[in-house]
Amino acid sequence: FGREITDLLIAVNRPYNKSDYIPVIAWGRNARFSEKLEIGDRIRLWGRVQSREYQKKLGDEVVTKVAYEVSITRMEVVEKELQKS
């Protein structure tokens, strides 16, 4: 069997109704844990920022681009009581 993997997109809220959306990749037990998350859950992550190159076709041209994502080593939900503050 292969190892579980999940791609997430987390929102980091900023002032003035702005948000940043950060791609996150979870492996193994973190991937299984992430299946239980609901939209709006506050989570705490540990991991590293990594980059990877990929190719994208634009018309007749193939362009190499770089994507950045957080590869997590640990994830937990922040207490529900803390989310209300």
Q: Measured between alpha carbons, how far is residue 50 from residues 53, 72, 82 in Å?
A: 10, 10, 30
Domains belonging to the chain, first-starting first, are 5-76 (2.40.50.140)
Q: What is the CA radius of gyration of the chain?
A: 16
pLDDT digits (tens, 9 = 90+) for 26-62: 999 999 999 999 998 999 999 999 999 999 999 999 9
Contact yes or no for 20/12 (Cβ under 8 A):
yes
What is the per-residue pLDDT across 7-25, written as a single tens digit (0 to 9) for each? Answer: 999 999 999 999 999 999 9
In 10 A of CB 7, how many CB atoms?
11
